[in-house]
Amino acid sequence: MLSFSRLALALTAVGAALAAPTKRAVAYYNPNNGGGSEVDIVSAGLGEPLNVIISGLSDSSIIGSQSNFLSFAQDIGFSTECLGIHIGSPQQANLGDGNGAVNQLVEYRENYNPGGTCLESLIGGNHLRGWIQNGPSADSGAWFLAVSQEENVIDNHDIVPNGYNIGRDALVSNANSWASGQSTYSLSVDYVSGLLAAGSTGINHGISQDGQVAVITVTRN
């Protein structure tokens, strides 16, 4: 028979295990396998490529909440919109996770120094929209991002030629620079094919893209 002290220790250990956060086991689920798409929804038959995934294997301090993700986005050169003002309707995405098509959770713009995101709103720059894959049938916790390089306000923030590839690669470059400048986190990037068809079919503005999705994993050292 367990002594009272041993029983108390055992119950404490069980309670700690139950309270500990569960680490997700997959980087992401392919939205196409769950009736979703790696292209978001702008209008009927057109959307923007979800060309960056922040892996569900990333540390919870990076992806565990919207505030955590905002901090990470700010570290890699993005921030909230100028004065909190947004013009235009939110885009939707179906990540094949059982939630169906849902509105974007965040929209961040390039954070110039100086000038901030207000300058991006004027002269254009990099830009992202984000969704979390957390539905009942595919809960990876990964962030799916539609990243693009935009024109200036006079050109209505249309996407620059090759702007989807440019925006994705600029984000990856910024993330690598951030990771190399600190010691708390390690970052890996894999360019994945097969999630997104290359070309311009179904892509907003008819801009071709290479079909590669950058999967970024940020882990704590």
| Span 129-188, pLDDT tens digits | 999 999 999 999 999 999 999 999 887 778 999 999 999 999 999 999 999 999 999 999
Q: Does residue 98 lie within any of the structural domains?
A: yes
Q: What is the 3-class SS of the chain, one letter each residue?
A: CCCHHHHHHHHHHHHHHHHCCCCCCCCCCCHHHHCCCCECECECCEECECCEEECCCCCHHHHCCHHHHHHHHHHCCEECCHHHCCCCCCCEEECCCCCCEEECCEEEEECECCCHHHHHHHHCEEEEEEEEEEECCEEEEEEEEEEEEECCHHHCCCECCCHHHHHHHHHHHHHHHHHHCCCCEEEEEEEECCCCCCECCCEHHHCCECCCEEEEEEEEC
pTM of the model: 0.88
Q: Does residue 193 lie within any of the structural domains?
A: yes
Q: Does residue 90 lie within any of the structural domains?
A: yes
Q: Does residue 3 lie within any of the structural domains?
A: no
Q: Does residue 211 lie within any of the structural domains?
A: yes
Q: Does residue 153 lie within any of the structural domains?
A: yes
105 — pLDDT class (breaks 50, 70, 90):
very high
Q: Does residue 173 lie within any of the structural domains?
A: yes
* Number of domains within the chain: 1
As a whole number, the mean pLDDT across the chain is: 90
Residue 9 reports pLDDT greater than 80:
no
Structural domain boundaries, residue 157:
24-220
Q: Does residue 17 lie within any of the structural domains?
A: no
Percent of the chain at pLDDT above 90? 82
